[in-house]
Structure 1
Amino acid sequence: MNNLTGNMDALDNTDRIYFAPLLPWQKVLWLQLTERVLKQQSLPHALLAAGMQGMGKRAFVWRLVAWLLCRERGTHPLGACEVCESCQWLKSGTHPSLQVLPLVSMPTSAESDALQEKSSSTKDKKGAKTTSNSALKIKVDDIRALQPFIYQGGQGMRICVLDHAEKMTVAAANALLKTLEEPQAQVHLLLISDTPAQLLPTIKSRVQQLALQTIEPTVAVDYVTQALGHTINREAVGTAAIEQLIQLANGAPLAAIALAQAPWYSKRSLWLTTWQALRSGKRSGVAASDYWQGQLNIKEFIQLSELMLLDIRRVCLGLSELQTDVNLSTILATYHPTDSGLEAFANSVQQTKIALQQNVQEKFAYDKLMQELASL
């Protein structure tokens, strides 16, 4: 899938998430699953798509949902046909054989892995209300409400998608266990998790994990290079820059693309300049705060600061920096922040994130961070 507007797992049109092109590193798994179905061999009752953000797990799941429900899948092995009654129901968001928890995960908006994880309960620049990932919960009543759908019988294939499965309460997870232990014919449960370590062991032992996490480095580089070439001067995006993006994104190609397009990524050198100016007293915290408020919103500045802090810590520990295109090593060659200073700034960043959830004014948050950065 190749959307270059900042979304990592979805296209602009809300229904297109079901019918988008297959990501190149998912082709082998797709063929394995679809051939199994076409040969009349049933899929496992419950599947788990797990792994870090930006690897396309949600894109794969929604594409698989559409294909499994498609009335013409036998003649369209590479993806749902888009024209049958089932595909039309998906496009309208009214498919009777699909249930999704939590409801905000239903693909009625072009959200991606990363955007779902990084969304907040505050308003964005356009004033639109977004949903906090920390506020997502799948409760026991939600699981119980699925029971009539799962056990109705005689209604053809039925699919339940549990996004952010790690957000199930203990009671919800225990309620789900009964369904996992008593599989129903033609009912498939598809769980999606960004942090599978948070799933109960009893849940993980009863699902089959999809092999979505292994991506060959050359495939990742080729995909990111091609994707960024549509929006960024190809000459300016060399192999070293692409490899750095992928490394910073922990090997996830879609996250690397989103990182390159993030408004704060191009301001990393500027962050270092501000840090040095604050530390030397050449610039006041208030002046720096006023300047940056015109550059990035506070959440973007926090993302930038977290990346810079990560690399500063690496160099201070004697490791090589991840970012070779900024002069971090030069700065740290003459000045090393103390461990206590690094810890204090990291704590301040975390406290700011919590404060923002409580509707603290952005200017106040910026002023506080600049004061802490000056002491780093």
Structure 2
Amino acid sequence: MTAPINSDAVYFAPLLPWQTALWAQLTSRVLTPPHQLPHALLAAGTSGLGKRAFVWRLVAWLLCRERETHLRGACGVCESCQWLKSGTHPSLAVLPQQQMPIAIDSQDTALKTRDKKSKSSKASTETLQRIKVDDIRELQPFIYQGGQGLRICVLEHAETMTVAASNALLKTLEEPQSQVHVILISDHPAQILPTIKSRVQQLPLYRIETRLALDYVTTALGGVVNHERVSSDEIAQLLTLAEGAPMAAIGLAQSDWYGKRALWLTTWQALRAHKRSSTAASDYWQSQLDIDAFIALSELMLTDIQRLVLGLNMRQTDLDMSAIKDSMLPDTLSIADFAQKMQQIKAARLQNVQDKFAYDSLMQALSVL
């Protein structure tokens, strides 16, 4: 089982500034006798932390033939690095098998390998292939082939393992093999069985100093969002909305829909006041965003509306919420109904339901929110 073909940028990307200390710690453990690197690792946390960037960089370095003289990353020229570049490394197995290694999280922008406007790039949890027990069983020959040197197994989106797959992996974790490392990556570690998590060492990739995150996002955006200069407060808001994940914040700022938040509020208020029909609103928004982007926008807005209903402060302090605060706020049941409608449309999208039908349905639900 070999690694899928992918850009070499995945394996040789620069180390992110908040990962330098952890990188030094792990590489020191590898190079200092008795070479104590845990046999099973978990890179977990919200999307946009850069955990995938760290994992694939670590994979390349561990396999690199010149790692002892290239402490900050794989050399990029040895036979092992060439195998990685071609996607034919015999010592690397990745599950799901057709899962292309991506050095970024689903909302990251750096090293993006797909067109950000492509409708085929829906990498949401709903579209992920589950890791099944047969997938884990197929790993067994790779794991137990003694005397074959260092071998690495990477399980992307480990939370998608079925119970049977988790139990099969558990046996492997309970009987670690020499020179075999299993690395799990997950955006939703709470969905991984506790028995699995108890047998892996979690990498502290979720601890990012606020100043480092602010500086990184500010530099990456060049101080500009939607062609306008942004303040440090606006950068801080992006990080808040992204749950502190720097590259998710960058992805948010560069999304097609982030600059349309005030317009969403205007549409909602017009629908509630019967100043605009749901059909007219649907037709307009179809010309602005695809339905997936509008749902992402709606989910963000709904979160802050719910905060208002609960008496909490809005996180989007750059929006004028006076009109909403002065009007009758929706009740929690209505919010739950709208959230459920969005989930239903997401599921319907997997069955190739047309944008127009999805938009019409969602606008009708928004009019009664």
TM-score (norm 1): 0.89
- Corresponding position of 1:72: 66
- 1:273-284 paired onto structure 2 within 5 Å: 273-284=266-277
Displacement of 1:60 in angstroms is: 0.6
Does 1:223 pair with 2:201?
Answer: no
Per-residue deviation at 1:323?
Answer: 0.4
Q: Residue 184 of structure 2: SS of its match in structure 1?
A: strand
Mapped partners of 1:180, 1:198: distance in 2: 18
Structure 2 match to 1:299? 292
Q: CA RMSD in A?
A: 2.1
CA displacement at 1:126 relative to structure 2: 4.9
Instruction: Write the letter of the residue equivalent to 2:76.
Output: E
Unmatched 5+ stretches in structure 1: 1-12, 117-123
**Residue 155 in structure 1 maps to residue 132 in structure 2:** no
Question: Cα distance 1:222–1:268, how it changes in 2: closer, same or farther (>3 A)?
Answer: same
Q: CA deviation at 1:324?
A: 0.9
Partner of 1:10: none
Whether the aligned pair in 2 keeps the contact of 1:312 and 1:328 (CA below 8 Å) is no
Q: Of 143, 166, 175, which aligns to 2:168?
A: 175
Shift of 1:205: 1.2
Contact in 2 for aligned 1:321/1:329 (Cα 8 Å): no
Q: 1:345 aligns to what?
A: 338
Instruction: Look up the match of 1:144.
Output: 137
Q: Structure 1 pair 273/130, CA: closer, same or farther in 2 (3 Å)?
A: closer
Q: How many residues align?
A: 356
- Residue in 1 aligned with 2:51? 57
Query: 2:180 is matched by which residue type in structure 1?
Result: V
Deviation at 1:234, TM superposition (A): 8.9
Structure 1 residue 371: Cα displacement: 1.3
CA drift of 1:86 comes to: 0.5
Equivalence for 2:39: 45
DSSP 3-state at the match of 1:104: coil
Q: Which residue of 1 aligns with 2:104?
A: 112
Task: Supply the AA of the counterpart residue of 2:167.
Answer: N
Contact 1:315 1:329 in 2 (8 A): no
Contact 2:278 2:367 in 1 (8 A): yes
Q: Deviations over 1:81-104 (max 9, x none)?
A: 001110010000000110001123
Shift in alpha-carbon separation, 1:235–1:352, aligned structure 2, 3 A = closer
CA contact (8 A) 2:216 2:246 kept: yes
Q: Is the 2:43–2:185 contact (alpha carbons within 8 Å) kept by the matching residues of 1?
A: yes
Q: Distance in 1 between matches of 2:226 and 2:355?
A: 34
Matches within 5 A, 1:94-133: 94-107=88-101, 110=102, 112-115=104-107, 126=118, 128=120, 133=125
Distance change (3 Å), C-alpha of 1:213 and 1:131? closer
CA shift digits 1:285-309 (9 cap, x unpaired): 1111100000000011011111111
The alpha-carbon deviation at position 133 of structure 1 amounts to 3.6
Q: What secondary structure sits across from 1:96 in the alignment?
A: coil
Please report how far the alpha carbon of residue 354 of structure 1 lies from its aligned counterpart in structure 2 after TM superposition.
1.8
Q: For residues 354 and 144 of structure 1, do their structure 2 counterparts lie closer, same or farther at Cα, with a shift above 3 Å needed?
A: same
Structure 2's unaligned 5+ residue stretches are: 1-5, 109-115
CA gap 1:322/1:129 in 2 versus in 1, 3 angstroms:
closer
Contact 2:53 2:103 (C-alpha < 8 Å) held by counterparts:
no
Q: Is the 1:18–1:62 Cα contact (8 Å) retained in structure 2?
A: yes
Q: Which residue of 1 aligns with 2:265?
A: 272
User: Tell me, what secondary structure is at the counterpart of 1:113?
Assistant: coil
SS of structure 1 residue aligned to 2:215: helix
Q: 1:115 offset after TM fit, Å?
A: 4.9
The aligned amino acid for 1:57 is: K
CA deviations over 1:172-197 (Å, ceiling 9, x no partner): 11111221111111111111111111
Q: Report the alpha carbon displacement of residue 232 of structure 1 after superposing the two structures with TM.
A: 4.3
Greater Cα shift, 227-236 or 179-188: 227-236
Give 1:17 shift.
1.1
Q: What do residues 8-64 of structure 1 show as CA deviations (whole Å, max 9, x unaligned)?
A: xxxxx8220100000111111000000111113220111111111110111110000
Query: 292-301 or 334-343, which moves further after superposition?
Result: 334-343
Tell me: CA distance 1:38–1:21, structure 2 relative to 1, closer, same or farther (3 Å). same
Question: What amino acid maps onto 2:79 in structure 1?
Answer: E
Whether contact under 8 Å (1:102, 1:138) holds in the other structure is yes
Deviation at 1:231, TM superposition (A): 6.1
Q: Name the % identity.
A: 66
Instruction: Describe the superposition over 1:326-368 as per-residue Cα deviations: whole angstroms up to 9, x where unpaired.
Output: 1124422233223333233222222221222222221011111
